[in-house]
Structure 1
Amino acid sequence: MTVNDLALSDSPTNNILDAPSLWPAQAHTPTVNGRQLVVERGEGSWLYTSDGRKLFDGTAGLWHANIGHGNAELAQAAYEQMLQLETYHIFARYSNDKAIALGEKLAELSPIERAKIILNSGGSDAIDVACKLARRHWQREGRDTKKIILSREFAYHGLHAYGTSIAGLEFNREGYGSDSLVPETARVSFNDATEVEQVIERIGAENIAAFVTEAVQGTGGVNPPAPGYLEAIEQICRENDILFILDEVITGFGRMGTMFAAEYYGLQPDMITFAKGVTSGYAPLGGVMVAPRIWKPFYVDSPDTPIFRHGATYAGHATASAVALKHLELLEREQLVARVARLAPVLRRELDALATGRETITEVRSAGLLGGVTLHESLSAEQICDDLVELGFIGRPLRGNTIQISPPFIVSEDELSDFINAIGEAIDARSGK
């Protein structure tokens, strides 16, 4: 019997699980098999499962359900667009009206002046495109050595080839036969600008294409930047002729209490990647906002103008674009970004109260309507999140034994307080208080 035969054998000695056909994402399958919560319905900030549970969505799904679940206006927008035109591609001479309209709206909202917009299907797509465009930019400039993409320790930028390669979370990089799927990458300190300068000096700025960073690290543990860090990184990039790419897949479209974190921190990146918050997850859509210094050479009226080979079947998907347009209209009409700005200090106050007197909590962090609760090693964030489900709340364990907090923008102050109090209750129960 070969190794492959053994691996595929269903004999009892091999303990092959009898599990659903759907392979769960980011999962240790033996751990989740038989324990999965099947969500059937959502309404506002709440979810309903097939086994009759009602759960508060304390993480807004994977950071995306900003306007909550079950919004009828967005469903109607999708329905009406599908009746008119489900989609048509945007390759070469062809486009569709909704993709064009969304491009104009996003350029209007963008912190990058006169931005061009590349549309695709999500955040991982956006990172791949941005990193490829950074390298294409320098190749077109004739600076062939500028290939390396820098990223930060604890960073998460999706799981496509480039996102995997620039991950600062080693468990997302392991098991593929090399240190990096795309070889020209390097990691730097997640909050020490001086160390970043040292890495650039060691590698050589002439070899570095771009620096990619989340505005606030999400999966890495909800890590806001140290005061002045992002501003210093932008300046270092300018001084060394390195493109500065800001990953706003989580923070874009209101999560910080401003439309973009670039505005919150006063940054002027060369590219911004976006996804989740552009539709609140009602349709898969992402993209890149591109500054003029990068896009202009591709728009010169000449037969010799180069082509940037980007694009996918669903880039500029008409229905997704229609949903995004309606969603952005709703954000403005309901003043939800301003609402986040009002809720941010409430979250901070609740987290400070949670940590007071609890030695089982080593740190609480927040930025806008993002929060993280880091637990003492005597407790398990994964276990606490399981306990939260039994209390009627959804949290999520992150790197560093941290619990994720990122509720929908529509959350009430009472719901937010109840969620934080439930975390305290679960912690106290596990620590014997």
Structure 2
Amino acid sequence: MTMTDGFAQRPVESALWAPFAPMHSVRQSRTTIVRADDVWVWDTDGQRYFDGTASLWYSNVGHGRTEIVDAVTRQLRTLDAYQCFGDFANEPALRLADEIAQRAPMDGGKVFFTSGGGDSIDTAAKMARAYFAAIGQPERTVLLHREHSYHGTHGFGTALAGIPGNRVGAPFAPNVTQVPHFDPAALDRAIVEHGPERVAAFFCEPVIGAGGVLVPPTGYIEAAAAVCRRHGVLFVADAVICGFGRLGNWFGIERFGVRPDLVVFAKGVTSGYQPLGGVVAAGHVAEPFWDEPGNILRHGQTYAGHPAACAAGIANIEILERDGLLQRSLKLEGPLAERLDSLTDHPLVDHARGGTGFMGALELDPGYLAATPGLPGQLMQAVRRHGVLIRPMGSALGFSPPLTATEEHLDFVTDAVRAGLDDIHRTT
């Protein structure tokens, strides 16, 4: 490795092992992003792309927000970092916890910070089991999740994975059961079969995100929550993707009128400017640990409540409110769905999904998928060549732009996707 202007010059082939990457092909063919502004990002060749997925569903307020950069910088100059274990705290963590609890759709919410979504899922799973142990029901350890669900890739997240390809080596946690994704009666049967006295929690994304942007049928979320209430099972809303404006409100679950027992959040809480996540526990779940001596949740991450990350979260919430981005998400969800519907006449497209939140998907034609298993990845690359970044998700293409996007941007995306579809169709 040589030195240039004081910096080590990178070899053509880097040692970076990327997540979810076929490294055999990626190792010498990468798109390296070097800068970003609002809805746009640029690579090392100067090529500009529309960020059609808000990176990984998180750049809700857009890139280049100097307010967040300045808030993080000020905090680092004042208190760079200090742990929040035991009786230690810092001002940004205290303030952000209160800001989040005030907006959470439950009474008496308490906020447990983590470093991201996967950490938060593990926290919620352990918290659910610890809660029942604390109230004298330690046998309640069974966790339920749905087909197509994505709850991260940590130990519990892998066990709770409803995407088959993500369950390699799973389950890493015992007593985990999968149920059909939109069938409250099946959820009820699963609880009865296990015995309600053994079931701790049900994990539910308001809209299934990475599993394909699957919008729940009318009444499903409400019915599933009612099943959980009837059996005393904790309803865990996984708002990692759906939160902080993606569904037009703070945690996504409010859209369905459900008051969960636990809410998992990450991604949009800082719009990706700093790694941060957490769990909001309703008052009755927190009570055994907050109001009774001797009960300790023996769990936590080194950087939980990191002051700079929390400063980013505070500034991010201020932007979401000041710029009306939650309302903007609601305004744009219809236009995005319309643009995706306009592409369903293409031979490579089977149908579109969306209309609930500023997110959507194009399901690809099953015949073409069977003939070309790598079709989603090929289309991602083809659309990228026309200046738009989207994500392959199994048999679909996913869309979740920053909440700062405009209808003109959506037109640009539509044109690029159609051009990419045409390019691939000509070769299939």
**CA–CA distance in 2 between the matches of 1:222 and 1:262?**
15
Match of 1:137 among 131, 150, 156: 131
| Partner secondary structure for residue 345 of structure 1 | helix
**What are the residue-to-residue correspondences of 1:25-424 with 2, within 5 Å?**
25-174=19-168, 176=169, 179-300=170-291, 304-355=293-344, 357-366=345-354, 367-377=356-366, 378-379=368-369, 380-399=375-394, 401-424=395-418
The amino acid across from 2:351 in the alignment is: E
**CA–CA distance in 2 between the matches of 1:129 and 1:257?**
26
| Partner secondary structure for residue 354 of structure 1 | coil
Shift of residue 51 of structure 1? 2.2
**CA–CA distance in 2 between the matches of 1:110 and 1:37?**
38
**CA–CA distance in 1 between the matches of 2:265 and 2:54?**
16
Shift of residue 170 of structure 1? 1.8
**CA–CA distance in 2 between the matches of 1:368 and 1:299?**
35
The amino acid across from 1:358 in the alignment is: H
Shift of residue 52 of structure 1? 2.1
Shift of residue 63 of structure 1? 0.2
**CA–CA distance in 2 between the matches of 1:334 and 1:212?**
32
**CA–CA distance in 2 between the matches of 1:381 and 1:119?**
35
The amino acid across from 2:342 in the alignment is: A
State the percentage of identical aligned residues.
36
Asked if structure 1 preserves the Cα contact closer than 8 Å seen for 2:360 and 2:398, the reply is: yes
The amino acid across from 2:343 in the alignment is: L
**CA–CA distance in 1 between the matches of 2:204 and 2:109?**
19
1:14 corresponding residue in structure 2: none
Asked if structure 1 preserves the Cα contact closer than 8 Å seen for 2:39 and 2:404, the reply is: yes
**CA–CA distance in 1 between the matches of 2:221 and 2:424?**
38
The amino acid across from 1:130 in the alignment is: A
Asked if structure 2 preserves the Cα contact closer than 8 Å seen for 1:297 and 1:305, the reply is: no
**CA–CA distance in 1 between the matches of 2:164 and 2:253?**
27
| Partner secondary structure for residue 142 of structure 1 | coil
Shift of residue 86 of structure 1? 1.0
Task: Give CA deviations for 1:99-156 in whole Å, capped at 9, x if unaligned.
Answer: 0011111111111122001111100111000000100011112222211110001111
The amino acid across from 2:278 in the alignment is: G
**CA–CA distance in 1 between the matches of 2:251 and 2:239?**
7
Shift of residue 348 of structure 1? 1.5
**CA–CA distance in 2 between the matches of 1:391 and 1:168?**
32
Shift of residue 374 of structure 1? 0.6
Task: Give CA deviations for 1:296-342 in whole Å, capped at 9, x if unaligned.
Answer: 11122x5x431111222211100111111011011111111111111
Given the two structures, how large is their TM-score scaled by the length of structure 2? Answer: 0.93
Shift of residue 275 of structure 1? 0.3
Shift of residue 428 of structure 1? 2.4
- Aligned-residue CA RMSD (Å): 1.4
Given the two structures, how large is their TM-score scaled by the length of structure 1? Answer: 0.92
